[in-house]
Structure 1
Amino acid sequence: MTSRPKFAIVTIGSGSYLGSTVHDATLANALRRRGYEVVVYWMLEETPELLAEGVEQRMLCHGTRYQFSRPSEFMDRVIGRIAFRLPRKLRRAVAQGVPGFVENLMRNLVCSLFCYERTDVALAERLARFIEQDGVTHVKMGFGSIGALAQEAQKRTRKPFDYLVTFQGDEEFASLAEACGVTDVYRRRVDEAVRNARWPAIVLSRHYASRLVDDLRLDGSRLEVLYCGIEPPKQGTAPDFSILTETFPRLRRDLPIVAFVGRQESEKGIDLLLYAAKILLSRGLRFQLVVCGATAKGLAYRAAIRDIVTHLGVDLHHSGAISIATRDALFAHCRCAVCPSINGEPFGLVVAEAMSLGAPAVVPDYGGVAEVVADGVRAGGLIFRCWDSGDLARQLERLLTDDALHAELADNAPRVAARFSTENMVDGFLAHIGLQEEAEPQILHEDATSL
């Protein structure tokens, strides 16, 4: 190994995994700022605007590789390259507009890794070639579920490298493996990838580590908690309210805003928020409800949201993906940000971002997201009983009606979110792989052995 390592991060560039992509890109950018060489290997899709200048990037495989039940080099190298000449916005519109397109693609990816005697050998060989050509010494796999690729690549390279895996949304891979009837193979190969890695796997929260031990039967001693990092907000005056009215022209300054920002998919529990909003409106509370964010699995759930809103008679300010400037303005001016997820989030990146801008958060008591809103005795938000729209309504009512409580949480929120700085994350990452001798960041870097 060289004294100054070069990192590669293998990540899936969009879709249901956009949060993980942001996490991986944030780490890549931070490592580059520290003076390390970094290359990102994209799978399926790319999101190059997330990367800072100086971070190299390559396309490891196009989504077309998994158009059929077995991986296709022709579909990847020929059709994929042609398709990627089209604007990315058009590619994603097609993927979302065809019902079941993304699910089918991801199912075929899972099949290529776990349905056959060996994982996708041709792709592992390509990964090994990239690593050799780029002089990579340390490889971070964006998911534990694709760790088998790194393990297979190690067998095919003339230049040794070390790898580690990250678990950050692997339950979706596990669900697809179950649908393909290969759960036992999936668990075995994921466990092998974790055990054969040089370092314990990174997990984004204590709750998620416990879930992996229970659901995937992984060894807790091979898991270590390292929370995500977010870039701190720029100092200065708050974003002007007019930024919001460009996207939501009916928003008013004089009514409190309850905001959801995130992927508009069924597991995010937006319907629970709509039911809670109806309960509060029936009690005479006056507020504005904003729901916005991208989709990855098609537009069906967004259509369902519109149908539910119509049946409930809720006035909703609704949008698709928004700019970072609009997101920051929304968090700066909203009464609170809500994460009503029903799926046990591995972390809560949006929640940390909202709190960093002074927005108290309301989150479920299930998943790693509950770990984001409190730091010891200090809280930057409230917790409701998961799947309980009535309790969600009660917590929202407290924030809407109790000005003293809201002021306390809004004051605490940025300080609680400060734990999740990018610098803390990269310090913890480097310490984890033995490249930093300083004391580990408080709370952010934890052994999961006791799980």
Structure 2
Amino acid sequence: MSGKPTFAFVTIGGGLHPGPVVRDLTLANRLHRRGFKVHVYWLLEGRRDLVDPGIEQSLLCHGARYRFGRPSEIMDRLGLLAALLPEGLGQRAVLGREGGERRLVNLLWALIGTPESDTALARRLGDFVTRDGISHLMLGCATLGPLALAAKRLGGDTFEYALTFQGDARFADCARSQGLFERYRERLQAAAKGSRWPSLVASADGLKRVAAELGIAEERLRVIHSGVEVRRQAVRPPLWMLKNVFPGLVEDVPIVTCFGRQDAGKGHDLLLYAVKQLQSRGVRLQLVICGGSTVAASGGRAIVDLAGRLGVALHHAGPVSAAVRDSLLAHSHCLVYPAVDREASGLVVAEAMSHGTPVLIPDHGGITELIRDGDRAGGLVFRRWDSGDLACQLGYLLANEVLHRELARNARAIAERYDAERMVDRVLQHLGVPSPTECPEVDGVPSAVAR
């Protein structure tokens, strides 16, 4: 492959896979800023506001395509027309009242449950790639790998694709529930083998899990941690941004934040039980929970309902803007990430530490790799699934000011390891692509930002 590469990112929009989307678009935006030509191909729904000006965006298919059991070209066209209308107007008619989880199930069946992976969509992807002169097709969710492999087999063998395993555990669980897991393994093995490069994973624990569960050889996998925007100035965003969304917040009581997808497996119930225990002991705190959901409003309602049953005072919201998120993380005493599932990574943990905010996480999964650097730690861990231990660790962090200051100081320094520019450097190195920016080395890897 010669000449300067042109990148395209195939990413699942609509709030259904926020972690991989953030990672994809961070990488896409940074590559564009370095002078590469970049395209974004949205699957199900687009988010143009997240993409830098100058990056070409296309909707590969609308979510309505997977409203029913089989991919529907007619529903896809209706969805594409509805997407041109003002937000919300016409969307319910084509998407129905079902949550996004049903669309993911139908998407999985289209990609895995048939001999060819949604042939019409694969052909469309190949047409997009040819039209835009794409040399490097980046798939931030490896479950989409069979689609890229099908596009190559249909005559689009002018490009190479790279897989990243992030967010695929949800698809794997779905495949098990649908009786498709063995076929899922076979198709992902074929997609990984068909790529020129080893597939990327976000943590060492994630690598072990992908190898064990999906049967992909470890030598065909590489660890590159996801990158975030590291805040190098300790100036807090204004508090009024928070009070616009959470008007009941006060300044003299510590804010404990849980930020992320409000779905099963994220452990919000554990956090609510832990906070109830602390409040019964007279510990003062303000609990904030916010983020999107793949199950429409039902995920958030379940959290609010449980908080009401427990008598826990809760400041709650759905998705919030990046400005509100940054203000919330900066003003929080700590971030709690109480995931029940074995998480390969957790971008919000690195984001919180970049603000100098200590974190509290479970003691399993790749997320534990984020908070330590040698003897330094940017947070505490609690025993997984144990709300009692979560309450103890959270209470300790609220009461011990010396510990909190130490963790806050460490957190910002540790977050430097996950700077987005480092991620870009390592991805380009992995692909064998020289960066147009000449720069010094950091940890033996060229870096575009002098530190």
Question: Same fold judged by TM-score > 0.5?
Answer: yes
1:377 pairs, out of 370, 375, 388, with 375
Q: How does 1:7-406 map to 2 (within 5 A)?
A: 7-76=7-76, 78-89=77-88, 98=97, 100-157=98-155, 160-233=158-231, 235=233, 237-406=235-404
* Structure 1 pair 214–25 and aligned structure 2 pair: CA distance change class (3 A): same
**Identity, % of aligned positions:** 45
**Would the aligned equivalents of 1:428 and 1:440 in 2 still touch at CA under 8 Å?**
no
**Would the aligned equivalents of 2:67 and 2:95 in 1 still touch at CA under 8 Å?**
no
**Distance in 2 between the 1:134 and 1:128 partners?**
10
**Would the aligned equivalents of 1:427 and 1:436 in 2 still touch at CA under 8 Å?**
no
**Distance in 1 between the 2:188 and 2:57 partners?**
26
**Would the aligned equivalents of 1:225 and 1:444 in 2 still touch at CA under 8 Å?**
no
**Would the aligned equivalents of 1:96 and 1:299 in 2 still touch at CA under 8 Å?**
no
Structure 2 equivalent of residue 428 of structure 1 = 426
Q: Say what the alpha-carbon RMSD is for the aligned residues.
A: 2.1
* Structure 1 pair 315–92 and aligned structure 2 pair: CA distance change class (3 A): farther
**Distance in 2 between the 1:145 and 1:159 partners?**
20
**Distance in 2 between the 1:371 and 1:180 partners?**
32
**Distance in 2 between the 1:114 and 1:108 partners?**
10
**Would the aligned equivalents of 2:64 and 2:94 in 1 still touch at CA under 8 Å?**
no
Q: Which runs of 5+ in 1 are unaligned?
A: 446-451
Q: Which runs of 5+ in 2 are unaligned?
A: 447-451
**Distance in 2 between the 1:249 and 1:56 partners?**
38
* Structure 1 pair 363–287 and aligned structure 2 pair: CA distance change class (3 A): same
AA of the residue aligned to 1:228:
S
* Structure 1 pair 271–92 and aligned structure 2 pair: CA distance change class (3 A): farther
AA of the residue aligned to 1:324:
A
Displacement of 1:323 in angstroms is 1.7
Q: Deviations along 1:86-135, whole A, 9 cap, x unmatched?
A: 3345678889993x432221111111111112211111111111111111
SS of the equivalent of 2:228 reads coil
Displacement of 1:296 in angstroms is 2.0
Q: Deviations along 1:225-282, whole A, 9 cap, x unmatched?
A: 1111111226363112222211111111111111111111111111110000011111
* Structure 1 pair 443–257 and aligned structure 2 pair: CA distance change class (3 A): farther
**Distance in 2 between the 1:187 and 1:260 partners?**
33
Displacement of 1:180 in angstroms is 2.2
**Would the aligned equivalents of 1:358 and 1:410 in 2 still touch at CA under 8 Å?**
yes
Displacement of 1:190 in angstroms is 0.2
Please say which of residues 394-403 and 215-224 is displaced more in the overlay: 215-224
The TM-score with structure 2 as length reference comes to: 0.94
Q: Deviations along 1:296-350, whole A, 9 cap, x unmatched?
A: 2122222221221122111111111222222111111111011001112221111
**Distance in 2 between the 1:249 and 1:354 partners?**
22
AA of the residue aligned to 1:349:
L
Please say which of residues 343-352 and 429-438 is displaced more in the overlay: 429-438
**Distance in 1 between the 2:115 and 2:275 partners?**
51
SS of the equivalent of 1:16 reads coil
AA of the residue aligned to 1:258:
V
